[in-house]
Amino acid sequence: MSPAQKPRSASPEPVALHEHAEENLRYIRATMENATSFTGVSGRGYFLAGVSAIVAAWLAARQSTQAAWLLVWMLELLLAGGVALGMTAFKASRQGKPLWSSSGRKLLLAFIPAMTAGGVLTLALFLRNDTTLLPGIWLCLYGAAVMTAGVWSVRILPLMGALFLSAGSLVLLTPVPPDLMLGLSFGGLHIVFGILVWRHHGG
């Protein structure tokens, strides 16, 4: 039950008082549950991750081997992940909220499965010397991870996830240049949504 939906009966039939009291208690519980979404995601963290992704896309496009190309993106994953996590921890601490709150744990648990699948597919395709599908797979799985995890966080995150998923589908199904889409998505989307989160939910 959404807190915004005021569950009042329009029926002319009498409503027992204890039912009204029970409804009030359910309303309090639902509001408290909805209010525990994790708002500690850092807009500045996303912004910086986006900037680093644009640099990584530029660097990766200049590599001559698959291994070097993959190495650039793996280093970018570590760098961007570290920056985003560090900034999120800093923001949560500034808000007086624990990083591992109930909603923070749910967010992480929702994020991990799709990312793990992405890691396994990356390794498998690299061992087969075929990395051509990786950009689309990364974008799709990262989008799926963000959409799922975003349920426990600020409302615009699932939208960002959906856009990543769309970008991944484009890369997999059309001849659009993969490195360009990686730069536009991991770079551009993170920068845009980082600014939005920063403005509406703090840095």
Q: What is the largest CA-CA distance in the chain?
A: 77
Closest distance of CB 84 from another protein, Å: 18
Closest distance of CB 3 from another protein, Å: 5
**Considering beta carbons, is residue 91 or 138 the nearer one to another protein?**
91
Record the tokens describing residue 59, joined without a space: 């660097």
User: How many angstroms separate the CA atoms of 176 and 195, rounded?
Assistant: 27
What residues make contact with another protein under the rule CB under 8 A?
2-4, 6, 8-18, 20-22, 24-25, 27-28, 31-37, 39, 95-97, 154-155, 199-203
Cβ–Cβ < 8 Å for 181, 139: yes
**Considering beta carbons, is residue 62 or 200 the nearer one to another protein?**
200
Closest distance of CB 37 from another protein, Å: 7
The dihedral through the CA atoms of 51, 52, 54, 58 has a sign that is positive
**Considering beta carbons, is residue 75 or 99 the nearer one to another protein?**
99
**Considering beta carbons, is residue 37 or 185 the nearer one to another protein?**
37
DSSP-assigned letters across all residues of 25-53: HHHHHHHHHHTT-B----HHHHHHHHHHH
Closest distance of CB 9 from another protein, Å: 6
